[in-house]
Structure 1
Amino acid sequence: MREPDKVPPKSGMRGITLKRRKLFGIGAGLTVLPAWWALRQVADGAKRDWHTDTAPLERAFPLLGPLTDAKWVSSRDNDRGTPSPELVISGFVRLTPGKLAELTAAHAFVSGGPTDDFSSWFEKPLKGEGPENPQWIRSHELDRDGSGYSTNLWFDRRTGTVRFRALNPYG
């Protein structure tokens, strides 16, 4: 027997109302998710999308000597699920005072800057992070090519900053 105080739903109306509620809930969740992510990124302000440790760079570029003020990324950061045997590192690092003068005395340098502005997906955090109005020079002697790795180094005369991009920097 049916209870008298319960009214049977009108044909299909209850189902439509539940579907609308589910869609509204999903829409609200999709709206809140990006806001939550953005707030989390602001809260983690100290944690950047780049590395600041210089030890790996000193191993990759031993001729540059001790390094400071590093901002660099790796093609293996935030792995996108596509495994690659090749490692690319890219970024900026500052030389110790007097090191650029030492390098320019020992190697031939020419004027010339990078041709791209961090075009790879993993390099995006570095856009706008370099020195203002750089006066780039480079030495083809210091760029390494061969046996599975290559390096491109650009030096800013004013700040002693090095912009680098290296494929398989550890050989």
Structure 2
Amino acid sequence: MERRKLIGIGAGLAVLPTWWALRQVANGAKEDWRTDTAPLERAFPVLGPLADAKWVSSRDNERDVPSPELVISGFARLTPGKLAELTAAHAFVSEGPADDFSSWFEKPLRSEGPENPQWARSHELDRDGSGYSTSLWFDRRSDTVRFWALNPYRQGA
């Protein structure tokens, strides 16, 4: 009788990981990043409508103490022609981000983004002051913008 119990428990433990994986797929397991573009379009109206995005925020994840300030970071793809419009209207310099997603919440983005980007930045398009800050880097080959923003929805931003 003891042997049957052990075999039953062992079989149950062997099935548990498969059951959990199937349940995650059936429930549409959440990605490690967000893909909705509407919040980004509201934060960065100069970019216009976005084709797609992968981004995270300091208020996402399962940290015990949420961040008192909102930081969003990620990538978005511009609609065709938008980057050409921006480069015609603003001065750009070749400049890439200083770090490679160093914050705890940015980890899911480390292997994302365009391959071998050639970043350019327009300091005119970045915002800073009175408690908010935005940095935008553009890759002309992929029409991708990498962004980092502190309190992007603050009034007057």
Whether the TM-score (by the shorter chain) exceeds 0.5 is yes
Please report how far the alpha carbon of residue 49 of structure 1 lies from its aligned counterpart in structure 2 after TM superposition: 0.6
- Which of 43, 50, 71 aligns to 1:60? It is 43
Q: In the comparison of the two structures, how many residue pairs are matched?
A: 141
- Which of 50, 55, 62 aligns to 2:33? It is 50
Kindly report structure 1 stretches of 4+ aligned residues shifted beyond 3 Å. Answer: 38-46
Deviations 1:76-101 (A, max 9, x none): 00241213320000000011000001
| Greater alpha carbon shift after TM alignment, 72-81 vs 146-155 | 72-81
Please report how far the alpha carbon of residue 46 of structure 1 lies from its aligned counterpart in structure 2 after TM superposition: 5.6
| Greater alpha carbon shift after TM alignment, 97-106 vs 38-47 | 38-47
CA contact (8 A) 2:35 2:53 kept: yes
Tell me, which stretches of 5 or more residues in structure 1 are unaligned?
1-27
Please report how far the alpha carbon of residue 128 of structure 1 lies from its aligned counterpart in structure 2 after TM superposition: 1.0
Instruction: Tell me which residue corresponds to 2:153.
Output: 170
Query: What SS does the corresponding residue of 2:106 show, helix, strand or coil?
Result: helix
Matches of 1:85 and 1:98 in 2, distance apart?
Answer: 37
RMSD of aligned residue pairs (Cα, Å):
2.4
Deviations 1:56-79 (A, max 9, x none): 000000000000210000000024
| Greater alpha carbon shift after TM alignment, 41-50 vs 160-169 | 41-50
Percent identity over the alignment? 78
Please report how far the alpha carbon of residue 132 of structure 1 lies from its aligned counterpart in structure 2 after TM superposition: 0.3
Relative to structure 1, the CA distance from residue 68 to residue 126 in structure 2 (aligned partners, 3 Å threshold; closer, same or farther) is: same
Query: What SS does the corresponding residue of 2:40 show, helix, strand or coil?
Result: helix
Instruction: Tell me which residue corresponds to 1:81.
Output: 64
Choose 1 or 2 for highest CA Rg. 1
CA contact (8 A) 2:93 2:122 kept: yes
CA contact (8 A) 2:58 2:66 kept: no
Query: What SS does the corresponding residue of 2:35 show, helix, strand or coil?
Result: coil
1:123 aligns with 2:106: yes
Tell me, which stretches of 5 or more residues in structure 2 are unaligned?
1-9
TM-score by length of structure 2 reads 0.81
TM-score by length of structure 1 reads 0.74
Matches of 2:117 and 2:28 in 1, distance apart?
Answer: 27
1:98 aligns with 2:98: no
| Greater alpha carbon shift after TM alignment, 82-91 vs 118-127 | 82-91
Relative to structure 1, the CA distance from residue 157 to residue 41 in structure 2 (aligned partners, 3 Å threshold; closer, same or farther) is: farther
Query: What SS does the corresponding residue of 2:91 show, helix, strand or coil?
Result: coil
Query: Partner letter of residue 118 of structure 1?
Result: F
